[in-house]
Structure 1
């Protein structure tokens, strides 16, 4: 058993080393871009994650640096849904998939497309 403590200075969203390497390559190919994480209403359970390569943050975004040379803008309106989320890159068979380890999720749809949080 482990004990977790609240860290008010912790970043809202983090990345594993595998995800940082993946997104670092994407940014290097795209040029002067940052990653933006937001959510949208979608699917059968409520919300879906949205990852985009963009030119810059939007007003209200929280700006994070989860790894060297990676700037992540998190939509301020989605921050309550995303706080504590870890972005990971996992291999499933022959495919690599971006996974969101979000401690706020209480249910996911069967296909993994959408999620819900407690109100």
Structure 2
């Protein structure tokens, strides 16, 4: 499988990368947080780490650490307007439940 970007998210990440030429791509993964256990994290990748899975889409590299990969493999990253703001939206097929506020999720593995 892979981690993919919708066309809207791809355009947004490309814009971020244009403003920060030192960035290698997008780093995507999870961290323990919230009431359900896992939260998605996305930031510009500053380095390539041992064990990273690297997916490439239209010239944008997506770096996922080995610990996060089983929890996010198959995720489609989208970008949407929500109310007055804009945010990345993670369509993660591994998420089996989420908390009420939408900040965190659980999987069958944890």
TM-score by length of 2: 0.91
User: Quick one: distance in 1 between partners of 2:80 and 2:69?
Assistant: 24
Structure 1 regions of 5+ residues with no counterpart?
A: 1-9
List per-residue Cα deviations over 1:6-28 (Å, max 9, x = no partner): xxxx4x20110000000000010
Which of 74, 77, 87 is 2:64 aligned to? 74
List per-residue Cα deviations over 1:14-45 (Å, max 9, x = no partner): 11000000000001001131211111111100
The alignment's C-alpha RMSD in Å is 1.2
**Could you list the runs of 4 or more consecutive aligned residues of structure 1 that deviate by over 6 angstroms after TM superposition?**
none
Helix, strand or coil at the partner of 2:67: helix
Helix, strand or coil at the partner of 2:10: helix
User: Quick one: distance in 2 between partners of 1:60 and 1:108?
Assistant: 28
How far the C-alpha of 1:97 sits from its partner, in A, is: 1.3
Contact 2:80–2:89, Cα closer than 8 Å, also in 1: yes
Match of 1:100 in 2: 90
Helix, strand or coil at the partner of 1:20: helix
How many residue pairs get aligned? The number is: 108
TM-score by length of 1: 0.85
Which of 16, 41, 53 is 1:26 aligned to? 16
How far the C-alpha of 1:76 sits from its partner, in A, is: 1.2
User: Quick one: distance in 2 between partners of 1:82 and 1:102?
Assistant: 6
| Structure of larger gyration radius | 1
